[in-house]
Structure 1
Amino acid sequence: MDRAERWRRDLDAWAIPDEIIAAAPENPWGHLVSRFGRRTDTALAQPAGPTLDRARESMPAANARFPGSVLDVGAGTGAASLPLRPTELIAVDESAAMLAELSQRAAALEVPVRAIEGRWPDVAGDVPVADVAVCAHVVFNVPDLVEFFTALTAHARRRVVVELPERHPTSWLNPLWEHFHGLRRPTTPTADDAAAIARELGYGVNVERHLAPEPRYSSIEEMAASACRRLCLDPARAGEVAQAARDLGVWPPDRTRWVTMWWDVPA
């Protein structure tokens, strides 16, 4: 089995059993726009770190007034792109609500933005090429990384920069899944697997590991509410989840380790 097929198989193993999904009070895979917005505001207040630095250094002009264009795939509210203050931002995301938040922040920063709602690479044919393509915290939602990376690279003139956690973003919940559902969750794939797939495509992949700039949650209450949704539990069980998280060592959490990988696009 090749790496790309193994990646797809390993991601499939993260599916939640149908009987648990059927009893879920809300979508366990949903995202809160407010949490994404908080991450973006942190990035705007402190516009540094490996991902932003690797993107910024490849922009075509040193003049801050004309820094070049950026394509942000899975843009969310713009944490990986707005701090770059590009001449043009092309933002692709499946969520209209995320794009609306991004557009509001872009307007306040006077960053021209073209928002494209849809899934990458399904909408790639409607997306122009940019100087730099960035993609943050999307890869673990992508079954076909070969198609995804190929389209991303085809839409960058200079560099592709990808940020992702070292392991699946819900790995921290694994002890709680076993506690509440008796379900053992996977441990693969990893960021190293994603980098290996990109290298097999012929890209000169560079990798830098670093800590997330802020804790995953600001309080145990916020964590417990999120965990209830992810675990398909009634929100009324948040107190029980909080206690289990303490008992199992899930809380307080370690700072998440992230990976930035990047490759230059041949002229």
Structure 2
Amino acid sequence: MSDPSDGPAARSWRAQLEAWAIPEPILRAAPANPYAFPPGTITTPTVDPLTTPTGLRVLERLAPGESLLDVGCGAGRISGAFTDTFRVVGVEPRDGLADTAAERGIDVHRGRWPELAPAVGTAPVVLSTHVLYDVQDVGPFLRALHDAAERRVVLELTATHPWSDTSPLFRRFHDLHRPDGPTVELLGEVIEEVLGVTALMEGHTRPSGRYDALAELVAHQRQRLCLTADHDPAIADALAEVVVTDDHGRVRMPDQPLTTLWWDR
């Protein structure tokens, strides 16, 4: 019998993620880690997490005092909002983010999923946000989420790969074509293939992370592009038509469509 965790949809997911790897010559020349994020953009929520489609799907299946398991909790930007009413258990491999999550009242297990799944145990609702595009071996990851959930699994991710907004910039500065996938629709196919369930989906948007000045946004995009500071004027020019500026002069990239997926046990 074939392994559903390594079916055609799961293999396509893995191959399309592998295609996003930055070519080695570009990566070797990078003056900084292109995958690092400024702390403010990954620690501060831009909307109340309890009011989003993701938050509402969680609240539908939890009673006050019950446990929420957040796999890949990061700094607790989303699940930290639940700690006033629920016990929140997190899984996070990055110590700096785990420290911040703990300060927000999350009981953090430091390490990787699904390796930590047996030690973490189960919870009525399992949440995982903006993690799946970093998971090439997606079948075992999803299976462990499913097995840990007593009532519901809730996922949130961008509708397309979160680096999709860099595709025009990589073409401009490196003459490099970036992939079109994977997409949230393919993830739905993987879920059905691996678990035999059909995930419900709801599309929505949320403001992207804000920067106090254009120079900060340009510096972050330069880092992602593996470029040096002398490219900043050209990067600013490339971003001129897409940058969003609020009434306080803070800037951000355009919102990327998000999708909440969920299924019940």
Q: Distance in 2 between matches of 1:250 and 1:205?
A: 33
Q: Which residue of 1 aligns with 2:155?
A: 162
Whether 1:208 aligns to 2:202 is yes
Q: In structure 2, the residue corresponding to 1:47 is in which secondary structure? A: helix
Q: Distance in 2 between matches of 1:72 and 1:239?
A: 40
User: CA-to-partner distance for each residue in 1:91-120, whole Å, 9 max, x for gaps?
Assistant: 1111111011111122xxxxxx32111121
Q: Distance in 2 between matches of 1:215 and 1:143?
A: 25
Contact 1:54 1:262 in 2 (8 A): yes
1:138-153 alignment to 2 at 5 Å? Answer: 138-153=131-146
| Letter of the structure 2 residue corresponding to residue 26 of structure 1 | A
Contact 2:38 2:220 in 1 (8 A): no
Identical positions, percent: 33
- Change in Cα spacing, 1:38 to 1:102, as seen in structure 2 (3 Å) is same
How far did 1:88 drift? 2.0
Q: Distance in 1 between matches of 2:179 and 2:225?
A: 15
User: CA-to-partner distance for each residue in 1:7-53, whole Å, 9 max, x for gaps?
Assistant: 100000000111111111111112333221112xx44x563110000
1:184-199 alignment to 2 at 5 Å? Answer: 184-199=177-192
Contact 1:133 1:160 in 2 (8 A): yes
| Letter of the structure 1 residue corresponding to residue 164 of structure 2 | S
Q: Which residue of 2 aligns with 1:110?
A: none
Q: Distance in 2 between matches of 1:204 and 1:171?
A: 26
Whether 1:10 aligns to 2:13 is no
- Change in Cα spacing, 1:49 to 1:87, as seen in structure 2 (3 Å) is closer
Question: Which blocks of at least 5 consecutive residues in structure 2 are unaligned?
Answer: 1-6, 245-252
Q: TM-score, normalised to structure 2's length?
A: 0.88
How far did 1:87 drift? 3.4
User: CA-to-partner distance for each residue in 1:187-220, whole Å, 9 max, x for gaps?
Assistant: 11001111111122212311000011x2343453
Question: Which blocks of at least 5 consecutive residues in structure 1 are unaligned?
Answer: 107-112
- Change in Cα spacing, 1:235 to 1:154, as seen in structure 2 (3 Å) is farther
Structure ranking higher on relative contact order (CA contacts 8 Å, 6+ apart): 2
Q: Distance in 2 between matches of 1:207 and 1:152?
A: 17
Q: Distance in 2 between matches of 1:171 and 1:263?
A: 27
User: CA-to-partner distance for each residue in 1:49-107, whole Å, 9 max, x for gaps?
Assistant: 10000001111x2xx4x2x101111101113312223532111111111011111122x
Whether 1:264 aligns to 2:264 is yes
Q: Which residue of 1 aligns with 2:79?
A: 81
Segment drifting more, 182-191 vs 123-132: 123-132
How far did 1:234 drift? 1.4
Q: Distance in 1 between matches of 2:237 and 2:220?
A: 14
Q: Which residue of 2 aligns with 1:91?
A: 90
Q: 1:21 aligns with which of 23, 27, 35?
A: 27
Q: How many residues align?
A: 248
Segment drifting more, 177-186 vs 23-32: 23-32
TM-align CA RMSD: 1.7
Q: Distance in 2 between matches of 1:87 and 1:216?
A: 26
Q: Which residue of 2 aligns with 1:239?
A: 233
Contact 1:153 1:160 in 2 (8 A): yes
| Letter of the structure 2 residue corresponding to residue 224 of structure 1 | V
Contact 2:42 2:209 in 1 (8 A): no
Q: Distance in 1 between matches of 2:132 and 2:90?
A: 16
